[in-house]
Each structure stands twice: as structure tokens, then as C-alpha cells.
Amino acid sequence: MIELYHIWKQYQKPHWAISDVSLEIDTGDFCFITGPSGSGKTTLLRILFREILPTEGQILIDGVNVLKIPDHKINKLRRLMGIVFQDFRLMFHQSVFANVAIPLQITGLPDKEIRRRVFNSLRQVNLHHKMWEYPARLSYGEQQRVAIARAIVNRPKILLADEPTGNLDPELAFEIMSIFKEINEQGATVIIGSHDRELIRYFGHKIFFLQKGKIIGQEMKP
């Protein structure tokens, strides 16, 4: 379970990117954070990934206060998580294989196991035939799928995705959401930042509405 208590985030005074956000996400939930551009979706996801710290507030993951975890133990926390960044953050001068293998590099797994997992992960996003290609030579949607393969390669318990279907055609967007659903059905908690209303309506199980950094509503579907 993920619990956020009174999270505030200020990048620059006097503006608050996140103001007083409290929410709960159950293990195995498939949820969306939605809201207009600038409402704080990316900020909230980056805070959850502990990439940035909130100015105020507490976050508990399965009862552990993750903001109190010392820096040298953060990698252990991150290993529980996968993230698809809004801008993908791929290494363009390295192969698709190398990009997807990144989260496995610090695990100390044997090379053979790394190759097996990378291949399986790429197969899940239907991109295994491009394993030795370079991201620069892939289409936008293919690059997005590399980013997703990298996020799921270490079988994260928590999968975060920031606008994972932005700029994709509806068919591919649907396909990618179906991949997330599959991962969710395998037990992962999935949290997606998106403003694609149609997809949210179709896939959303729990929906948080953000506006100007505040939660202005919450919806649960049975």
C-alpha cells in the first residue's frame, strides 16, 4: 500500500507545484492521476519515484517511510519500482538491449539471465526483433515501448508511467495500456499520469483528479 500524507512541493517561490496532497493507493490497484497541463502529475510521479523530494509531507510504502530512507539504500527501494518517464530518457548511442538492461545491471544477475529477461520484456511490448537496433532509428511509438520494456524488466512491484500513451495513435495507446493491465494482473500496482480521458474511462480503476497541484476529486470504479 502506498500512502501520501500532506505532500507539498515547491520548485520556486511563491508557486506550489503540489499543495497538500494526501492519497492512498492499494497494492494491486490500477490507477490514474489526471489533470490539465501543469497540474502536477509529473511532479507527483517523480516524488513517488523519490527522484525529487517533496518540500513537506510523508510517504509510506507498505508502512515504510520512504523519505527517511538514507541515500545509500535508495537503490533497493528503486528496485521495487519501474518508471516510464514522459520524455523516455533513452540512451540513443546504445542498443535497445543495453537500454532495457539498465535496471538489471546493479542486481548482479548472470549475463544469461539478464539476456533472458531483456528478451522477455521486449517480447511483452512486441519489440524483441529490434533488440540490437539503436533508439535513434526507431519510431516514436517504438521508443516508447523500449522505455516501457525497461520499466518492467525487473518485474517491479510498483509501475509508474508518465503520459505513456501521449502522441501515440489510439490503437497503439490501447495496446500499451493492455500491456500495463497485464503487468497489473501479474500483481504490480500501476500508477499512470495521463490526460487521455477515453483511456482513463476505459482502463481506470481508481482516478485522482489534480488541479493546480491539489486533488480536487477521486473516483473509484467497482
Window 161-220: residues binding ligand ATP (CB under 6 A)? 195
113 CB-contact burial (10 Å; exposed 0-12 / middle 13-18 / buried 19+): exposed
Q: Which three cell numbers stand for residue 138?
A: 526507431
User: Of 37 and 139, which has the nearer Cβ to Mg ion?
Assistant: 37
* Binding of residue 42 to Mg ion (CB under 5 A): yes
Residue 39 in contact with ligand ATP, rule: CB under 6 A: yes
- Position 38 contacts ligand ATP (CB under 6 A): yes
Q: How far apart are CA 156 and CA 150, in angstroms?
A: 10
For residue 41, give the H/E element and its range. Answer: helix 41-48
Our finding on whether 11 is near ligand ATP (CB under 6 A) is: yes
The 64-103 site mask, x for binding ligand ATP (CB under 6 A), equals: ----------------------x-----------------
* Residue 121 contacts ligand ATP per CB under 6 A: no
CA-based end-to-end distance of the chain: 18
Q: Which is nearer to ligand ATP, 37 or 139 (CB)?
A: 37
Report the sign of the C-alpha dihedral through residues 99, 101, 106, 112, in that order. Answer: negative
Rule CB under 6 A: choose which of 19, 43, 165, 184 binds ligand ATP: 43
User: In the bound complex, what is the minimum distance in angstroms from residue 78's beta carbon to Mg ion?
Assistant: 20
Q: Do 173 and 165 contact (CB within 8 A), yes or no?
A: yes
| Least distance from ligand ATP to the Cβ atom of residue 216, Å | 13
- Scanning 10-18, 37-45, 111-119, 136-144 for contacts with Mg ion by CB under 5 A, the matching segment is 37-45
Instruction: Return the number of the residue (22 or 186) whose C-beta is nearest ligand ATP.
Output: 22
Binning the chain into helix, strand and coil, the percentages to the nearest 5 are: 40, 25, 35
Measuring CA to CA, how many Å separate 197 from each of 163, 202, 204, 212?
12, 8, 10, 18
Q: Is 17 in the site for ligand ATP (CB under 6 A)?
A: yes
Q: Kindly determine how many residues on this chain lie close enough to bind ligand ATP according to the rule CB under 6 A.
A: 13
Handedness of CA 17, 21, 23, 27 (dihedral sign): positive
- Positions in the binding site for Mg ion (CB under 5 A): 41-42
- Positions in the binding site for ligand ATP (CB under 6 A): 11-12, 17, 35, 37-43, 86, 195
